[in-house]
Chains A and B, each alone.
Chain A
C-alpha cells in the first residue's frame, strides 16, 4: 500500500516536472524529471525490504513483533499486559483487503502494531490475543 502511495505521488510529480521544465527551460532540463522516477524506483525497493522485515510470533507467554531494516526494532508484549486489542482498517486498506492489529498496554510507548494482515488472520489474532490476555491478565 505504501508502494502504491509512493507511485501515486511521485509519478505525477515526475510528469509535472518534466512538462514544466520542458516548456520553460528547454528539453534538456526536462531530464531532471527522471529524479522523482529514480526516487520512486529506490523507494519501491526500500519498501519491499521494509515489508519483508515485518515479522510477528505468538509465543507461549508473549507476542514478539520485529520490524525494520536500517532501524531495527523488536517488541515483546507479554499477553497478561495487554489492555486492548484493536483491528483497524482504513479505506485504502479495505480496498486492498487488508487489516491491521494494534495492541495497547498500560504504557503508551508500547508501539505494537501489525499492519497489512489478511482480515481473517487479523480477526483470528485478535480473538486469540484477547483469550490469552484474559487467561494471563494481571493488574498494573
Chain B
C-alpha cells in the first residue's frame, strides 16, 4: 500500500457516520483472508470407533482382509498403523451395559435368560463377537497415519472416509495420556491440540516408546527443527522446575471451599427433602449428584493431580501427573494466551496459589495445582517470557463510587498494566488474577451500561485467542477510555516484538 494512503488513514481518526456518503475506493477483487487462519481439519472425530465385544478373537484372525481397497500411500511417505491392541480399547463398554442392565433389573434378567434356548444364546453371542471383532479390526486396519515434512496425516474411516492433514506448525501441544488399562498393556494415547478445532485429534493407541518418540519428533518439527534433524533431536532434556508433594496437595484440597460446601449440601438438602416428601427416590436423586460433585472436586482432583511435576525443556513446559491415569502434557511457551493466578481464601495465609492457563485450541488448563507464590511465579516467568506477576499492592482499585454498581464485590476488582501484561483481578473470597500478554490481545472493548454511566465508570474488556475475555471492571470513564487507546497501542507494538511462532529457531535449540 502507498505511504499517502497510510497517512490518510492516520488522519482519519474522526469517526465516520454510518453509512458514509461515498466510497472513495473502487471495489477490488476479493482478496483472500489474512494468513494465520488455523488449518481446518474437517469435523474431527476420533480416529476410529471400535466397539468390539469382549473376548473377541484377536484381530488378525477375524474377517477377510480387504487389502485391495487400501489405497497406496501417496509420495514416499511411510504410513504407519496404530498398535494392534487398539480394537480392544472399547471392550469394556458392552460388558458395562450388560452388567448395568442385569444389576438394574435382576428379576427381568433371570426371566429373559431362562426364556432363551441354548442355541439362540450361542448364535447371538457368536454374532456379537464376530461382528464386534470384525468392526474393530476393520476400523483399525483402515486407520493410518504418516508424518511428512510439514504435516501429520491421519487417514481413517470404514464407511465414511476422513483424511486429516494437520499442519505441524499449527500444533499447539502434544499430550501423551495413559488410562489405567492402557498402562497395564503398555500402550499410550497421543492427543494433538490444533487451533480452531473443537475436539482433539487422537492417535490411540501407540506403543509406549513409539508414542514418546513420535511426540518428541512432532514437537521438534512444530518448533521449527529441520526435518532431517528432528528425528535425532529426540526427547528434549527436561529440567525439573516444580514438584507438588502429595501432602501439600491434600492439605490444599482440604482448604478449598467447594468440596465442603457440596458435602454439607449433600447432607442438609436430602435431610430436608426427606422431612418434606418422605420419598426415598427423591432423596437419592438429589444426594447422589452432590456427593459425586464433592467426590470429584476433592478425591477426584487428588487422583488427577497427584505427583504433579513441571519441567522445563526446549520444546516447552512439560507437565506430568496422575495417580491412576498418567498424563504427560506439553505447553509451548509462545502459545499461552492467558495465565490465571487463583487464590482461594483459606490459602492466602499460607501464601499458596494455583496457576491456570488458557491455550488456544487446548483444553490443558492447570499449570500448577498448588505451590508457594514465589515458586509459582518463577514457573509463570517461564510461560510468559519477560512477564512479572504484579504484586497485590500494585493493583489499582476501582473508584469508591463503583460500590453503587457492584456493592461488596467491588473490593475484589483490581487492575495493573505492566510492560508485558494486562492484569485484572476479580473475586472477593477466591481471588483470580488474570494476566494477558499484550501480544496476545485480539481486540479491546469498552462497555458501559446506563447505570454505570450515571456513576461514571466503565468496563474494559480484552479478548484473547483462546476465546476468553479478561475484564477490568468499573474503572473511571476517563481512565477506561485512556486505557482502551493505550491497550490497543500496546498490543500492537507488543505483537511486533513478540517471539516468532517457531520459538526454537531463535537459538534456544535443544
In the complex, the answer to whether B15 meets A124 with C-beta atoms within 8 Å is no
**Contact, CB under 8 Å: A106 / B360:** yes
* Interchain CA distance A93-B423 in the complex, whole Å: 42
A50 to chain B, nearest CB (A): 11
Evaluate contact between A107 and B495: CB separation under 8 angstroms: no
B111 at the binding interface (Cβ < 8 Å): no
Chain A residue at minimum C-beta to C-beta distance from B195? A140
Select which of B18, B463, B491, B495 is within 8 A of A116 by beta carbon: B18
Interface stretch of the complex, out of B22-30, B41-49, B402-410: B22-30
Contact of B15 with A66 in the complex, beta carbons under 8 Å: yes
User: Which chain B residues in 472-510 approach chain A with CB under 8 Å?
Assistant: 484-485, 487-488, 491-492, 495-496, 498, 500-501
A107 and B464 in contact (CB under 8 A), knowing A71-B449, A83-B33? yes
Given A80-B495, A83-B36, A57 contacting B12 (CB threshold 8 A): yes
Q: Do A105 and B484 touch across chains, with their CB atoms under 8 A apart?
A: no
B71 contacts A by Cβ under 8 Å: no
Chain B residues whose CB sits within 8 angstroms of the CB of A135 once the complex forms: 1
Which of chain A's residues 74-111 have a Cβ closer than 8 Å to chain B? 74-78, 80-85, 98, 105-111
User: By the criterion CB–CB under 8 Å, are A134 and B27 in contact?
Assistant: no
Interchain nearest-CB distance for A140 vs B (Å): 5
1/0 per residue A21-48: CB within 8 Å of B?
A: 0000000000000000000000000000
Q: Which of B74-82, B316-324, B391-399, B437-445 lies at the interface?
A: B437-445
Complex-state Cα separation, A132 to B14, whole angstroms: 19
Q: Assess the A54–B18 pair: CB atoms within 8 A.
A: yes
Q: How far is the CB of A112 from chain B (nearest CB, A)?
A: 7
Chain B residue with minimal CB distance to A85? B33
The residues of B that contact A117 with a CB separation of less than 8 Å are 18-19
Residue of A nearest to B20 (CB): A121
Is B17 in contact with A55, judged by CB distance below 8 angstroms? Answer: yes
Residues of chain B lying within 8 A (CB to CB) of residue A139 = 36, 498, 500-501
Instruction: Assess the B445–A73 pair: CB atoms within 8 A.
Output: yes
Q: Is residue B126 within 8 Å, beta carbon to beta carbon, of the partner chain?
A: no
Query: Is A107 within 8 A of B12, CB to CB?
Result: no
A114 to B37, CA, bound (A): 22
Q: Which of B31, B442, B467 has the most CB of A within 10 A?
A: B442
Proximity string of chain A (119-140) to chain B, C-beta cutoff 8 Å, 1 when within and 0 when not: 0110110111011111101111
For A83, the chain B residues whose CB sits under 8 A away are 33-34, 36-37
The interface centre, meaning the residue of B14, B25, B441, B484 with most chain A CB atoms within 10 A of its CB, is B25
CA distance A134 to B22 in the complex (A): 25
Specify which of A58, A80, A109 lies most central, judged by the most chain B CB atoms within 10 Å of its CB: A109
Instruction: Indicate whether A19 reaches chain B with its CB closer than 8 angstroms.
Output: no
Q: Does A60 contact B (CB under 8 A)?
A: yes
Q: Cβ of B443 and Cβ of A55 under 8 Å apart?
A: no
Q: Between A and B, how many residue pairs show CB distances below 8 Å?
A: 181
B484 pairs with A74, CB closer than 8 A = yes
CB contact list, B155-201 vs A, under 8 A: 195
Asked whether any CB of chain B lies closer than 8 Å to the CB of A7, the reply is no
Q: Which residues of B contact A85 (CB under 8 A)?
A: 33
- Cα–Cα, bound, A134→B444 (Å): 20
Which residues of chain A are within 8 angstroms of B500 by Cβ–Cβ distance?
139
> Known interface pairs A74-B484, A76-B444, A131-B31. Does A140 touch B469 (Cβ–Cβ under 8 Å)?
no
- Name B7's closest neighbour in chain A (CB-CB): A60
Could you say which residues of chain B place their CB within 8 Å of the CB of A114?
18
Q: Which residues of A sit under 8 angstroms from B18, Cβ to Cβ?
A: 51, 54-56, 114-117
Contact of B498 among A106, A116, A138 (CB under 8 A): A138
A134 to B32, CA, bound (A): 9
Q: List, in ascending order, chain B residues with CB within 8 A of A115's CB.
A: 18
* A62: B residues at CB distance < 8 A: 488, 492
Report how far A85 CA is from B463 CA in the complex, Å. 18
- Looking across the interface, which residue of chain A has its beta carbon closest to that of B450? A70
CB pair B450–A71 under 8 Å, yes or no, is yes
* Chain B residue contacts of A76, Cβ below 8 A: 443-445, 484-485, 487-488
A109 touches B469 (CB 8 A): yes
Distance, CA A66 to CA B15, complexed state (A): 9
Q: Name the residue among A57, A60, A137 with the largest chain B CB count within 10 angstroms.
A: A60
**With the chains together, A4 CA to B463 CA distance in Å?**
34
The complex places the Cα of A134 from the Cα of B30 at a distance, in Å, of 13
- What chain B residues lie within 8 Å of A123 (beta carbons)? 23, 27
**28 A-B contacts (beta carbon < 8 Å):** A55-B16, A57-B16, A58-B9, A58-B12, A58-B16, A59-B13, A60-B6, A61-B488, A61-B492, A76-B444, A76-B445, A78-B443, A80-B34, A80-B492, A82-B34, A84-B34, A98-B19, A108-B467, A109-B461, A111-B445, A114-B18, A124-B27, A128-B25, A130-B30, A130-B31, A137-B36, A138-B36, A140-B440
Besides A78-B491, A133-B33, 10 more A-B contacts (Cβ < 8 Å) are A58-B12, A61-B488, A70-B453, A72-B446, A76-B487, A78-B495, A110-B443, A123-B23, A138-B498, A139-B498
Q: CB within 8 Å of B: which residues of A?
A: 51, 54-62, 64, 66, 70-78, 80-85, 98, 105-112, 114-118, 120-121, 123-124, 126-128, 130-135, 137-140
Q: Which 7 A-B pairs have the closest CB atoms?
A: A107-B463, A55-B15, A133-B34, A106-B465, A107-B442, A123-B27, A105-B442
